Structure 1
Amino acid sequence: MIEVANRLHTVEEYYFSKKLREVNLLIASGKPIINLGIGSPDMQPPQKVIDAITSSFQDPNAHKYQSYQGLPELRDAMAAFYKDHFKVSLSPATEILPLMGSKEGIMHISMAYLNEGDEVLIPNPGYPTYESVTKLVGAKPIFYELDAKNNWSPDLKAISKLDLSKVKIMWVNYPHMPTGALPNTYLFEELVAFAKKHHILIVNDNPYSFVLNDNQQSILSVAGSKEVCLELNSLSKTFNMAGWRVGMVVGDSRHISNILKVKSNMDSGMFYGIQKGAIEALKCTKMWFVTLNNVYRERRNLVWQLADALNCTYDKQATGLFVWAKLPSRLKSEEFIDKVLKDNHIFITPGTIFGSKGEGYIRFSLCASTEVLIEAIARVK
């Protein structure tokens, strides 16, 4: 056997990649598993999005290589989307880079800015990919803890007392995943000031703004933020297009240019039809979000009932595609979800996959129909 690269010794296979094999084996053996673990939207994208990709197949340009920067009209649509919803002005030509899902942007940004031995501030709890990508590029994760007492917001005064001389990037994620916490009024302003003081690039990962949230915010709305901030966004959750793999990174033209140097060496452009569909999605009126959230609101009420049946507590002010629930004291997250999987055939995500501060919590996805959720409640009761 050829010896693998040392970087592979620093990471594990993604949790859901492993756990879903177990879940699928149970399904294959005849177990009626209800999957409330993954945030993969189960509803259709807008019809005009499907129509756009379908009609694009006959375009003479559809099957050619595409621009590394995406179609100009896609970047125009992304700029208009940010202007309409976030009150942020962006140059379509220089301040927007379409991505094949925002997840790839985490790798591109890390490769563009991190050298071996650099350090990265990562939220705990937080999206596991921040840590794994940091390790894959040879940098060192420095975790900053979040907790419910501070509404899952970073304690920037405490972080400032650390040795930050090697820190290049700080990952933030608001609305926060997995907890659903919204940023307080001044958090983005404080983060921008923190970034300037310590010469750190802050990246806000922002794919959940439109799910059960009427107050969309972007860190780039803060004056002077483009110098020290980037923002990732995605169409996956907002328009039920997770499998399409469409996202974006936005920010100062110099940052975008640096990221493009990485991206242009890693793919050959996004499929034309997907871009045409994305353009139509970004043009959706507010009625799309109202309709989407009416469904998620009904589902969330049922998930709250399920959490109640499992003797969990939760924050009704939280937003997003998940319900973050606290277990009764002394229960361990992974032991609990394994028991529910065995006894009730329901898969729920343990909070520990998001970091040590996720111990004692579980996360329910809203990506299941009301009928499925009612069945889950019945199984627990």
Structure 2
Amino acid sequence: MKGFSDRVETVQEYYFSAKLREVNQLIAEGKPVINLGIGSPDLAPDRMVIDALKSTVEHPRAHGYQNYQGIPELRIAMAEFYAREYRVTLNPTKEILPLMGSKEGIMHLSMAFLNPGDQVLIPDLGYPTYTSVTRLLGAEPLFYSMDLAKKGKPNLEALEKLDLSRVKIMWINYPHMPTGATGSKEILRELVAFAEKHDIVILHDNPYSHILNPEPLSILAIPGAEKVALELNSLSKTFNMPGWRIGMLCGRADWIEAVLKIKSNMDSGMFLGLQKGAVAALSLGKNWFSDLDEQYQNRRKLVWKMGDLLNLTYPKDTSGLFVWCKVPEGKSADELVDYLLYEKNIFITPGRVFGPAGEGYVRISLCMPEFKILEAINRIKS
């Protein structure tokens, strides 16, 4: 064998892929591990969503290849969701592209815009996939800092001092993962102006907009954003459907068309039953979100108690599925993570996974029932 491609050497196995293998091995050995490390919703989708999937399985044409752009009914439901929730008008035929989860969209978008040697602005802290996909394509990540005390405001003043001539795209993410910083209309307006000035494409990754967030925002609602921005969204967190792998890309028709050229050469469309279930989910009203938030609010209060027991500090004015915690001065986040895993059978995530700025922090997920979080608290007390 003549060896693997050079790109294999530019990345490591995704942290959660490797770590969950270890966690699952501990569970197989009989360890009662409570997984507060990942953001995979444990709650079920609405019954109507499951019924839509089940009824479609019996359809005689359900099992064939599906349209690369999804069924019209799904794109219309996505457009109606954006109009209702964000006050954004989208053409369902040209300005919406259903995806097999928004994570695949990160790769498709990057392939559509980047050449080797291009630069990509990536938040530190941020979703690790932004960086790994950038490197896989031979482009160069350029990290920018954010002010978490100001809702995650990017340090654009520092970026203005740099040579941005090779920067092609900029990843942003509000509500922010892992910190829960909410962002704001003002921040999005500044980012749109920044992108216009420097001829940069803004890619807004927006899967947490309806989790513990009373004012869901889309960058596409900002005047001028339709010229410089695309938005990824997902049903995984909002509708408890992470394993269904359903997301969407929204924005400029010509940019969507370019991404479709990539996507259509890599997959053949999602199963019809999943699309019908997504249509049902997207029709759910305010009661769905308020009931979901009530459960997450109760869980978050318990995680705050857990943080207090561990002498962690954390902001409370955040959104999303996680609590972002600073470990005490002079203490090691990795040592705390290992102590909880190997001594208390509790798994949480070290902040360094999300970038150098995460050193000295940990992230705790809300994706566990209250009784499990209470059990974790009792283990720590003991």
Q: TM-score, normalised by structure 2?
A: 0.98
Give the AA of the match of 1:225: A
Alpha-carbon distance between aligned partners in 2 of 1:48 and 1:71, rounded to the nearest angstrom: 19
Q: CA deviation at 1:226?
A: 1.2
Once structures 1 and 2 are overlaid, which stretch shifts more, 15-24 or 240-249? 15-24
For residues 39-118 of structure 1, the aligned pairs below 5 Å read: 39-118=39-118
Alpha-carbon distance between aligned partners in 2 of 1:215 and 1:278, rounded to the nearest angstrom: 22
For residues 12-27 of structure 1, the aligned pairs below 5 Å read: 12-27=12-27
Which residue is 1:158 aligned to? 158
Q: CA deviation at 1:161?
A: 1.1
Which residue is 1:339 aligned to? 339
Which residue is 2:183 aligned to? 183
Give the AA of the match of 2:347: F
For residues 11-32 of structure 1, the C-alpha deviation after alignment (integer angstroms, 9 at most, x for no partner) is: 0000001111111111111111
Which residue is 1:7 aligned to? 7
For residues 292-371 of structure 1, the aligned pairs below 5 Å read: 292-371=292-371
Alpha-carbon distance between aligned partners in 2 of 1:89 and 1:331, rounded to the nearest angstrom: 49
Alpha-carbon distance between aligned partners in 1 of 2:65 and 2:362, rounded to the nearest angstrom: 43
Q: 1:140 to 1:201 in 2, by over 3 A?
A: same
Alpha-carbon distance between aligned partners in 2 of 1:351 and 1:123, rounded to the nearest angstrom: 14
Question: Structure 2: which 5+ runs fail to align?
Answer: none
Q: CA deviation at 1:150?
A: 3.9
Alpha-carbon distance between aligned partners in 1 of 2:106 and 2:151, rounded to the nearest angstrom: 25
Q: CA deviation at 1:53?
A: 0.4
Q: Note if contact 1:57-1:273 (Cα within 8 Å) is conserved in structure 2.
A: yes
Once structures 1 and 2 are overlaid, which stretch shifts more, 148-157 or 336-345? 148-157
Give the AA of the match of 1:202: I
Alpha-carbon distance between aligned partners in 2 of 1:252 and 1:338, rounded to the nearest angstrom: 46
For residues 133-144 of structure 1, the aligned pairs below 5 Å read: 133-144=133-144
Alpha-carbon distance between aligned partners in 2 of 1:59 and 1:27, rounded to the nearest angstrom: 39
For residues 138-195 of structure 1, the C-alpha deviation after alignment (integer angstroms, 9 at most, x for no partner) is: 1000000124344332011211111100000000000100000111341111000000
Partner SS state of residue 164, structure 1:
coil
Q: Note if contact 1:324-1:362 (Cα within 8 Å) is conserved in structure 2.
A: yes
Alpha-carbon distance between aligned partners in 2 of 1:61 and 1:191, rounded to the nearest angstrom: 45
For residues 198-232 of structure 1, the C-alpha deviation after alignment (integer angstroms, 9 at most, x for no partner) is: 00000010000111111000000011211110000
Alpha-carbon distance between aligned partners in 2 of 1:2 and 1:321, rounded to the nearest angstrom: 44
Partner SS state of residue 70, structure 2:
coil
Alpha-carbon distance between aligned partners in 2 of 1:59 and 1:171, rounded to the nearest angstrom: 40
Q: Note if contact 2:147-2:155 (Cα within 8 Å) is conserved in structure 1.
A: no
Partner SS state of residue 186, structure 1:
helix
Q: Note if contact 1:124-1:355 (Cα within 8 Å) is conserved in structure 2.
A: yes
Alpha-carbon distance between aligned partners in 2 of 1:336 and 1:373, rounded to the nearest angstrom: 17
Which residue is 1:228 aligned to? 228
Alpha-carbon distance between aligned partners in 1 of 2:16 and 2:373, rounded to the nearest angstrom: 21
Give the AA of the match of 1:340: L
Partner SS state of residue 154, structure 2:
coil
1:289 equivalent to 2:289? Answer: yes
Q: Where in structure 1 do 4 or more consecutive aligned residues deviate above 2 Å?
A: 146-152
Alpha-carbon distance between aligned partners in 2 of 1:2 and 1:345, rounded to the nearest angstrom: 43
Alpha-carbon distance between aligned partners in 2 of 1:357 and 1:137, rounded to the nearest angstrom: 24
Q: CA deviation at 1:67?
A: 0.5
Q: Note if contact 1:99-1:248 (Cα within 8 Å) is conserved in structure 2.
A: yes
For residues 214-225 of structure 1, the aligned pairs below 5 Å read: 214-225=214-225
Partner SS state of residue 268, structure 1:
coil
Q: Note if contact 1:120-1:139 (Cα within 8 Å) is conserved in structure 2.
A: yes
Partner SS state of residue 21, structure 1:
helix
Q: CA deviation at 1:113?
A: 0.5
Partner SS state of residue 8, structure 1:
helix
Q: Note if contact 1:146-1:357 (Cα within 8 Å) is conserved in structure 2.
A: no
Q: Note if contact 2:148-2:181 (Cα within 8 Å) is conserved in structure 1.
A: no
Alpha-carbon distance between aligned partners in 1 of 2:57 and 2:29, rounded to the nearest angstrom: 40
Which residue is 1:128 aligned to? 128
1:206 equivalent to 2:206? Answer: yes
Partner SS state of residue 90, structure 2:
coil
Alpha-carbon distance between aligned partners in 2 of 1:132 and 1:117, rounded to the nearest angstrom: 15
Q: 1:48 to 1:2 in 2, by over 3 A?
A: farther
Q: CA deviation at 1:2?
A: 4.2
Give the AA of the match of 1:78: M
